[in-house]
Chain A
Amino acid sequence: MAETATAEAPAKAASGGNILQVRNLEAWYGESHILHGINFDVNAGEVVTLLGRNGAGKTTTLKSIMGIIGKRTGSVKFNDQDITQTTSDKIARMGIAFCPEERGIFSSLDVRENLLLPPVVRPGGLPLEQIFDLFPNLKERLNSQGTKLSGGEQQMLAIARILRTGANFLMLDEPTEGLAPVIIQQIGHTIARLKKEGFTILLVEQNFRFASTVADRYYVVEHGKIIDGFANSELAANMDKLHTYLGV
Chain B
Amino acid sequence: MQALYAQLLVGLINGSFYALLSLGLAVIFGMLNIINFAHGALYMMGAFVAYFLLNNDYLSIGYWPALIVAPIVVGIFGMILERTMLQWLTGLDHLYGLLLTFGIALIVQGVFQNYFGSSGLPYAIPDQLKGGMNLGFMFLPVYRGWVVIFSLVVCIATWFLIEKTRLGAYLRAATENPTLVRAFGVNVPRMITLTYGLGVGLAALAGVLSAPINQVRPLMGADLIIVVFAVVVIGGMGSIMGSIITGFALGVIEGLTKYFYPEASNTVVFVLMVLVLLVKPTGLTGRAA
User: Which residues from chain A sit less than 8 Å from chain B, CB to CB?
Assistant: 66-68, 87-89, 91-93, 97-98, 100, 104, 106-109, 113, 116-119, 121, 162, 165
Contacts and interface: CB of A to CB of B under 8 A. Distances in A.
A100 B185 CA distance: 15
Contact of B183 (A68, A107, A108): A68
Interface stretch (B80-88, B97-105, B166-174, B262-270): B166-174
A66 B173 contact: no
A88 B176 contact: no
Interface in B165-204: 166, 169-170, 172-173, 175-177, 179-188
Contacts of B166: 116
A66 B183 contact: yes
A119 B177 contact: no
A119 B186 contact: yes
Contacts of A109: 169, 172-173
Contact of A108 (B172, B180, B187): B172
A116 B166 CA distance: 8
B184 A118 contact: yes
Contacts of B181: 117
A108 B182 contact: no
Contacts of A68: 179, 182-183
Interface residues of B, number: 18
B183 A67 contact: yes
Contacts of B186: 89, 119
Interface of B: 166, 169-170, 172-173, 175-177, 179-188
Nearest to B164: A113
A103 B23 CA distance: 31
Nearest to B184: A118
Nearest to A100: B180
Contacts of B184: 89, 92, 97, 117-119, 162, 165
B169 A118 contact: no
Contact of A118 (B175, B179, B185, B187): B185
Given A116-B166, A117-B170, A93 B185 contact: yes
Nearest to B163: A108
Q: Which of A97, A104, A107, A121 has the most CB of B within 10 A?
A: A104
A106 B183 contact: no
Given A104-B177, A106-B176, A106-B177, A117 B169 contact: yes
A98 B183 contact: yes
A108 B185 contact: no
Contacts of B177: 104, 106
25 contacts: A67-B183, A68-B179, A68-B182, A88-B179, A89-B183, A89-B184, A89-B186, A91-B183, A92-B182, A100-B180, A104-B180, A106-B176, A107-B176, A108-B172, A108-B173, A109-B169, A109-B172, A116-B169, A117-B169, A118-B184, A118-B185, A119-B185, A119-B186, A162-B184, A165-B185
Nearest to A91: B183
Contacts of B173: 106, 108-109, 113, 117
Q: Which of A67, A88, A119, A165 has the most CB of B within 10 A?
A: A88
Given A91-B183, A119-B184, 8 more contacts: A67-B183, A89-B183, A89-B187, A92-B183, A106-B177, A108-B176, A116-B166, A119-B186
Contacts of A89: 182-188
A87 B182 CA distance: 9
B108 to A, nearest CB: 32
A146 to B, nearest CB: 10
Q: Which of B176, B182, B185, B187 has the most CB of A within 10 A?
A: B185
A148 B170 CA distance: 20
Nearest to B162: A108
B172 A106 contact: yes
Nearest to A107: B176
B277 to A, nearest CB: 25
